[in-house]
A and B are shown apart, each in its own frame.
Chain A
Amino acid sequence: MAARSLIDKLAILADAAKYDASCASSGTATRSSMGQNGPKQGLGSTEGMGICHAYAPDGRCISLLKVLLTNFCIFDCRYCVNRVSSNVDRARFSVSEVVQLTLDFYKRNYIEGLFLSSGIIQSPDYTMEQIVDVARTLREEHQFRGYIHLKTIPEADPLLIARAGELADRVSINVELPKESSLEHFAPEKSQPVIRKAMAGVKLRLDDARDAQANRLIRKAKPPVFAPGGQSTQMIIGADASTDTDILKTSTELYSGYGLRRVYYSAFSPMQDASLDLPPVKPPLMREHRLYQADWLLQFYQFERSEIDASTTNGMLDLDIDPKLAWALRHRSQFPIDVNRAPRHLLLRIPGLGAKTVDRLIEARRMTSIRLADLIKLTKTAKKAMPFIQTADYQPGGLLDTDNLRARFAPPPEQLALAV
């Protein structure tokens, strides 16, 4: 077989990486290549806020060069395009090829950095060593200060995972499926306990780094850094029979146990040479979207999981309306909420009002009594909030009690397409 050109490998190894939803480059430490007395050696910076340098027609942000080191893999996870039993084209980058691509792209301002993942070749440790070596070369030989996200292999030696954390801004370990029984079936080489143990190891090191930072005696002293962008994970949605309730249960366990920054949800997507026990269908994009919304409510809106669970049907979130609205419709007696008086946690319960709007509203109402027109200035989704609020000059009246309130928000039932 003739050696593949770099560009052919890039096509294969980017294609293989596109099923990973994460591409964030935010939330890490601030770094600059400018020192006090002029430029330092090297290249790159991070400024807290992530930057999406492009968007693909799937609406997803392209922030990092997201590639696999190789798509050869000895594991046979059914949901994965790279599993050993699949007949896709295979390729493998050398360490220096990934380094060069990253630097070339970065200098042209195409990317914020690198997100490197890999199929497992030879052994988890061998593969992890290669991944770490890419990051090490970038950081130590090229003084690269851009963002690095390393996917770590939970089966690898904890010391290698620790090394990854010292070099990277973020590390992630994918749980893939919410339940051990699903993993047993679809990913026979993986297991939740192994994954959770690896996450716990990362969490302990994150805590140590934070404590060292807080307790350093001299303010200028630089304690060792460990993954300043934290850790994240991903779950595949719709490959197995897990319900939204199962998924959110696992998410909350992972957030609370291992201090994850993000749980990504990735709708299972048709892929080349798909496994026969997972015949591909359209990806459940709306379900994925609702899970993100529910996840958001749990993290930033002081919702408890039991409240989300209670507004599901057979464990599934309502696809037609968002989970906050679904909750509100089932708890109408708690509305209308007076936007001039209610405390923040109640304002956060109002459909159509986001956390930012709520905070602005709280500022504004110290200065003036809020009328409906004011609310409309603060948010584009005031209409959605109207049945649930009262303002200085507005009452929802019977609107809240109407039977067809849900129908006001849900999309009209789809017309069956007529065959022609």
Chain B
Amino acid sequence: MHRISLQQHADFEGWRVQARALCSAKVHPSQIRFIPPDRDNTLLDFGVTDLPQVRRKVIASEDFMDRAARVACHNDPDRYDRLYQLLWRLQDTPSLMRNTVDDDVRWLIDADKAIRRDRHKMHAFVRFRKVGDTDQGREQFMAWFEPSHFIVDLASGFFTRRFPNMDWAIVTPYRTAIWNGESLCFAPGGTRDDVPEEDCVEDQWKTYFASIFNPARLKVGAMTAEMPKKYWRNLPEAALIPDLIKTAKGRERNLIRSLNAAPNPLAAKATYQPRRVIPDQTPQDIPALWKQVEACRRCDLWQGATQGVAGVGPKDAALMIIGEQPGDQEDLAGQPFIGPAGQLLTQALTDAGLSREQVYVTNAVKHFKYEVRGQRRIHRNPTIAEIRACNAWLEQEIAMIKPQLVLCLGGSAARAVNGKPVKISEVRGRPMTRADGLPFFVTSHPAYILRVQRYEDAPKAYQEMVADLKAVADLLAA
């Protein structure tokens, strides 16, 4: 039997060096006892044996080493033996850690979870009390804390990262961590009496704790699940809990009865004007039209959208381009044709010798219609009724801009301008005239080019669109 004494409670390095030698020498787990300071070894009887000569390379997965380093802090007196047992088994089964239903592996995972939780609780529940200031003006703080495991070393880095410019000490029963602005040192444990009785800010904190509690939501179990009673004695605010619980029901009853008998006189003085009411009337210019669209309720599309997006461009533009509706990006930014389809349009205009700046661009429908799939908003075609509901805005834009020519991108726009459905493949690329004499022209929507199923067809679809735009440029020049 080998008896290995470890110097510290949490002595992963000590264990690692010894365990590697033992495992390399093929010493079976049943032949070893690791003795950390917290293990009572008086009942164990050890004979001394020399290490056998067998040598092998010792391997361990990263996941195991990671967890083992933390589990060395566990309060289970057998933890080092159990870690050795796992190390032993890993030599034959390198993928052992992935067997999450194996009993040894489960022990490690659960013990690790307990350590992480304890560390987390220490980060949460340490309460510093101010001791004074140094001559250099550094504030000095102390805290008394009782962790469940041997985690002071493991948990202290957090406090150095957070509070490097104060001096502090955290005293626990087995070990004390001390920070002086330059280095973190450890000293033997202490007692509650090493730390001051009170702190000048504690009353404010208690006031806050009592005030943020909503007595109508009393859920004591939910509180104690996360803040078990064993921690309460070192939390100044916890002293208030019994009384807060006792009075909660009565306070809730009073709240339920507390009704506003008369409005506060302050109310008469409040003058904030909401901007909701906009009379529905024919706008005189494009900015007015935007405002009207913003407030439009003629169909339901406004409800899911961010904002109405009307047209932009020179008010004397010769060419007016009409798309279907704003997309995701347009909806967020409140600008038409700025997303991928808009960028493609700008490119196609340039390639056709036209400039986007000279064109008035707008949409047949002013609010974004979509459906949510997963975490994304997917475009949906507007219905005929929606196109119709929105048509008044479009006609007002046409009336105000008085373009020489209207270019419809895709079926919805063509339908909106023409009043009846068209087949793009039949009408595209040739000038047409509406009953009222408005010349219009139809091509495909740039979003269609982005969506073309077969990748090799996309350049072709794009070239067709540029050709249509060139025809438009020629018409305008004529």
State A335–B129 Cα separation when bound (angstroms): 57
Interface string of B318-352 (1 = CB under 8 A from A): 00000000001001111000000000000000000
Residues in chain A near residue B264, CB distance under 8 A: 84-87
Looking at A211-219, A272-280, A397-405, the stretch in contact with chain B turns out to be: A272-280
C-alpha spacing A45/B256, complex, angstroms: 41
Assembled-state Cα–Cα distance A10/B332 (Å):
38
Residues of A within 8 A of B314 (CB): none
Residues from chain B with a CB closer than 8 A to the CB of A11 are: 207, 210-211
Chain B, 253-296, CB within 8 A of any chain A CB: 255-256, 258-264, 266-267, 270-272, 274-276, 294
Q: In the docked arrangement, what's the CA distance between A212 and B259, Å?
A: 52
- What residue in chain B is nearest A58 (Cβ atoms)? B217
In angstroms, how far is the closest chain A Cβ from the Cβ of B81?
22
Contact B124 A276 (CB under 8 A): no
**Chain A residues bordering chain B, tally (CB within 8 A):** 108
Q: Quick check: B259 and A279 within 8 Å, CB to CB?
A: yes
> Is there an interface contact between A59 and B306, defined as CB atoms closer than 8 Å?
no
Q: Tell me the complex Cα distance, A366–B276, Å.
A: 60
For window 23-54 of A, CB contacts with B under 8 Å fall at 32-34, 38-45, 47, 49, 51-54
B259 x A17 contact (CB < 8 A): no
Q: In the complex, what residues of A have CB within 8 A of residue B263's CB?
A: 84-85
Let me know if B100 and A364 touch, CB within 8 A.
yes
Residue B104 at the chain A interface, CB threshold 8 Å: no
A133 contacts the other chain (CB 8 A): no
The distance in angstroms between the C-alpha atoms of A372 and B223, with both chains bound, is: 33
Find out whether the CB atom of B306 lies under 8 angstroms from the CB atom of A196: yes
Residues 349-393 of B, flagged 1 when their CB comes within 8 A of A and 0 if not, give: 000000000000000000000001111110000000000000000
Decide if A65 is an interface residue (CB 8 Å cutoff). yes
**CB-based contact B95/A367 at 8 Å:** yes
By the criterion CB–CB under 8 Å, are B212 and A62 in contact?
yes
A108:B214 contact, CB within 8 angstroms: no
- Whether A377 is near chain B, meaning CB under 8 Å from some CB there, is yes
Contact stretch, chosen from A197-205, A228-236, A314-322, A412-420: A197-205
B221 touches A272 (CB 8 A): no
Given contacts A54-B227, A59-B223, A203-B332, contact A283 B217 (CB under 8 A): yes
For A35, the closest partner residue in chain B by CB is B164
Shortest distance in angstroms between A64's beta carbon and chain B's nearest beta carbon? 10
**Chain B residues within an 8 Å CB radius of A204:** 332-333
Q: In the assembled complex, how far is the CB of residue A178 from the closest CB belonging to chain B, in whole angstroms?
A: 10
The segment from B15-23, B240-248, B426-434, B461-469 that touches chain A is: B240-248
Interface size class on chain B is 35 or more
Q: Please indicate the chain A residues that have their CB under 8 angstroms from the CB of B181 in the complex.
A: 39
B204 at interface by CB-CB < 8 Å = yes
Partner of B332, one of A53, A62, A200, A363: A200
Task: Find chain A residues with CB under 8 A from B141 CB.
Answer: 107-108
Q: CB-CB < 8 A to B123: which residues of A?
A: 51
CB contact between A86 and one of B260, B303, B306 (< 8 Å): that residue: B260
* One of A165-173, A185-193, A237-245 contacting the partner: A185-193
B174 at the interface (CB under 8 A from A): no
User: Contacts A57-B219, A280-B256, A370-B101 given: A256-B377 contact, CB under 8 Å?
Assistant: yes
B217, A60: Cβ atoms under 8 Å?
yes
Known: A11-B211, A200-B331, A273-B259. A57 touches B218 (CB 8 A): yes
Cβ of B98 within 8 Å of any chain A Cβ, yes or no, is: yes
Query: Complex Cα distance A132/B201, Å?
Result: 25
Q: Does A223 contact B (CB under 8 A)?
A: no
The smallest beta-carbon distance between B462 and chain A, in angstroms, is 26
Interface centre among A39, A59, A104, A199 (most CB of B within 10 A): A59
The answer to whether the Cβ of A180 comes within 8 Å of any Cβ in the partner chain is yes
A267→B100 CA distance, assembly (Å): 39
Are B260 and A276 in contact, CB atoms less than 8 angstroms apart? yes
Closest to A374 in B: B101
Residues in B with CB closer than 8 Å to A7 are 203-204, 207
Tell yes or no: A368 within 8 A of B by CB. Answer: yes
**Which chain A residues lie closer than 8 Å to B237 at the CB level?**
54
A108-132 vs B: 1/0 string, CB under 8 Å? 1110000000001001000000000
Checking B128, B260, B305 against A107 with a beta-carbon cut-off of 8 angstroms, the contacting residue is B128
B306 A257 Cβ-Cβ under 8 A:
yes
How far does the alpha carbon of A245 sit from the alpha carbon of B129 in the complex, in Å?
A: 49
Q: Which of A18, A104, A105 contacts B212 (CB 8 A)?
A: A18
Chain A to chain B contacts (Cβ below 8 Å), 6 pairs: A33-B164, A44-B162, A56-B209, A56-B214, A59-B226, A270-B256
Closest 4 pairs (CB-CB, A-B): A59-B222, A39-B164, A59-B219, A14-B211
The chain A residues found within 8 Å of chain B, CB to CB, are 6-7, 10-12, 14-15, 17-19, 32-34, 38-45, 47, 49, 51-62, 65-67, 72, 74-76, 84-87, 101, 104-105, 107-110, 120, 123, 179-180, 184, 188-194, 196-197, 199-200, 203-204, 252-253, 255-259, 267, 269-276, 279-283, 285, 299, 302, 304-305, 360-361, 363-364, 366-368, 370, 374, 377-378
A34-B164, A61-B226, A378-B101 given; 18 more Cβ-contact pairs under 8 Å: A10-B208, A49-B120, A55-B227, A56-B212, A56-B244, A57-B245, A58-B217, A59-B219, A86-B264, A104-B201, A105-B204, A107-B130, A109-B143, A179-B303, A270-B252, A273-B258, A279-B259, A374-B101
